Structure formats: structure tokens, C-alpha cells
Structure 1
């Protein structure tokens, strides 16, 4: 008989949550915070974890010990509907303060989509962005402390560029970009300032 759910144990965690926790432990080893034997012991605890409270012990003496358990949105809900932006042959821009969903889908035949995430609140640990560009372009301007992975973007004759770290870090937004660039371009970078203006 399975044990009944307990509010004190918190949410059930996903495989993605366990992998992020494992990556953080490997980072702690690289930083000299834990030894190899401690890493092995803590990894066993992470992969055996089922609830968010189970992830506390391996991180109790590390910075941000609750980074994995206080943000249950670490994994993007599969049933969350994406925000679909269709540029066609035009230009779509989002900047300033705007509602950032957990999932976006960017469609552009020959147009451009520019999303500036730097001046708004990002309430999600992970922002999932699917691109389908044809010959269009997508430019994502992300905050200074964020990370982004573009490995799953397929560009047959186009370009995919990211100048930000790809490994997720606890407590900061992580962007996962995937889909098809075709003959278009996908760019992920920090925002820079020239003559008082941001680009």
C-alpha cells in the first residue's frame, strides 16, 4: 500500500529536478565545497528523492540550500498552454514589463521576433521557447544572471548563436530554446548599452 501524501513533504519532484540538483552537486565539487566521497553519498540521496523535502539534506551546508525545493515550477508543466507569437513577415517585440509565460512558441516566415526579458519579472525557473522560423529571426535578450540552452534548435541553412552560459544555476531563470530555424536565425545574448540606449 502506498503511503498517503503529506503536505509537510511538499510537492513530488521530477527527473528534471533531480538532474538539476545533481548538476549543482557536481558544481560544488568543482568549487571545492565537497569531496568526491561526499558527492557520491549526496548523489545517492538526490536520485532517491521523491519529494521536495528529500532534497534539503544534500544541500543543507551549501549556498542556497532551498533552491531546489522552494520553486516547484522547476519543470515546465506539460499541460501549460504556450503563448503563440506569429510574426509572418512583420516584426513582433516585447520589452519593458510584460507577462512572461512558462512556454512560448515563436512563428515567423520572414519576419522577426524580439523578446527583451531584462526589465520584467520572470516568475518561472524555466522558460520553454519553441521556434519555427522559416527564413525569419528570433532575438532573445536575457538578464545578466540567466542561462540558456539552444542545443535543440535545428538550423538547416540558418544560424543559432548564444553568448550566455548553458548550464542551469539555482535561483536564476533558465531558457530552453528548441525547434526549427530553417534558413532563419536564433540569437540569445545579454543586452548592451550604447549612448544611453539598450540594444
Structure 2
């Protein structure tokens, strides 16, 4: 039997490979169907066998039990960023960050406390994989967006805090 988390990770790998231009659209559809209908692990593995290995250096984790997690300025954003905080506040300013990948996955594991993420003006934000507990998410997509910005996929779980996402003004 395949767990939901394992299936989701396989889907994210396929979407990442597509975003990086490693597989064409037709192949993506085929492989997604294979992953979503797989009943045993071997079927899941065979759908991912043509993808390049994941680079462990492209994942970073920032964790704190309490206090603040804060990033800003011109910092390099890894392909996968995991942020875990039990009680503290999280502030990520991606407006001047350096994106080396066209798509970035940010996984939030937050207990209580607030989180605020500022994304570049032309970023495309996907929050489908985010589950909030007590408070709702505050995000309003811009009415007009310019093509060419990074895709930022935010997933994970938030307990009692609130997440606010906004686009930079410049």
C-alpha cells in the first residue's frame, strides 16, 4: 500500500522535473496518471525511474523551537526549503532573494506564532498544499502579473498561527 505522503512527494518530483524542462508535457500527463493510479510501490518507482536523482544539496531546513526565523536581503533560495517552528515567528523576504531554480518548494511546519512571506512582484504562488488549522491564510494574488517570475509552491501545516503572503511592491 502506498501512503498519501509518498504519493504527494512523487507528484511533486514530477512537477519539479516538468518545471525544470526535464520532461515534456505529454510525458508529464502519462507519469502523473501512473503515480496517481499506482497501487504498489514498484509502480510508483517505475514512474520516477526516468527522472534524475534528487540533489540533496538543494534542500535546506531552518528550525527553531521558539524565537524568530528571519531571512531577508539577497540570499540564495534552495530548490526545497523546510521551515519548522513550534512557537516562534517566521519572516521570509524573498523580494530580493536569488532564485537559481524556476520553481521553489517551501514546506512550513508551524505550531503557534505568525508567519509572513514576501514574494517577488512577478512570482506565481501556489498554496494548494498548505493546511491551516485555527486561522485562515491571508493571500491575495495580484490582478496583473508579469510572466517570467519564479513559481513558489507553499505546502505543509500550520496549527494556531496565521500566514500572510504578499507580493513586493517593487
Q: Provide TM-score, normalisation by structure 2.
A: 0.63
- Are the counterparts in 1 of residues 120 and 149 from structure 2 also a CA contact under 8 Å? no
Is 1:171 paired with 2:161? Answer: no
Unaligned runs of 5+ in 1: 1-13, 21-44, 50-74, 194-199
- Asked whether the equivalents of residues 76 and 127 of structure 1 are also in contact (C-alpha less than 8 Å), the reply is no
State the partner residue of 1:111: 88
1:110/1:15 CA distance change after superposition, 3 Å: closer
The number of residues matched between the two structures is 129
Ranges of 4+ aligned residues in structure 1 off by more than 6 Å: 17-20
CA distance in 2 between counterparts of 1:121 and 1:175 reads 13
Which secondary structure does the structure 2 equivalent of 1:159 belong to? coil
Higher strand proportion (structure 1 or 2): 2
Q: How does 1:1-199 map to 2 (within 5 A)?
A: 15-16=14-15, 46-47=25-26, 78-80=54-56, 82-164=59-141, 171-192=148-169
Give the deviation of 1:79 after TM superposition: 4.5
5+ residue gaps, structure 2, are: 1-12, 29-50
- Computed over aligned residues only, the root mean square deviation of the Cα atoms, in angstroms, reads 3.2
Larger radius of gyration: 1
Question: TM-score, length-normalised on structure 1?
Answer: 0.55
CA distance in 1, matches of 2:27, 2:79: 27
Contact kept in structure 1, 2:16 and 2:103, CA below 8 Å? no
Distance 1:77 1:116 in 2: 29
**Distance (whole Å) between structure 1 residues aligned to residue 106 and residue 78 of structure 2:** 10
CA distance in 2: counterparts of 1:85 and 1:48, whole angstroms? 34
- The answer (yes or no) to whether the contact 1:159–1:183 under 8 Å persists in 2 is no
Say if 1:17 and 1:106 are closer, same or farther in 2 by CA, change over 3 A: closer
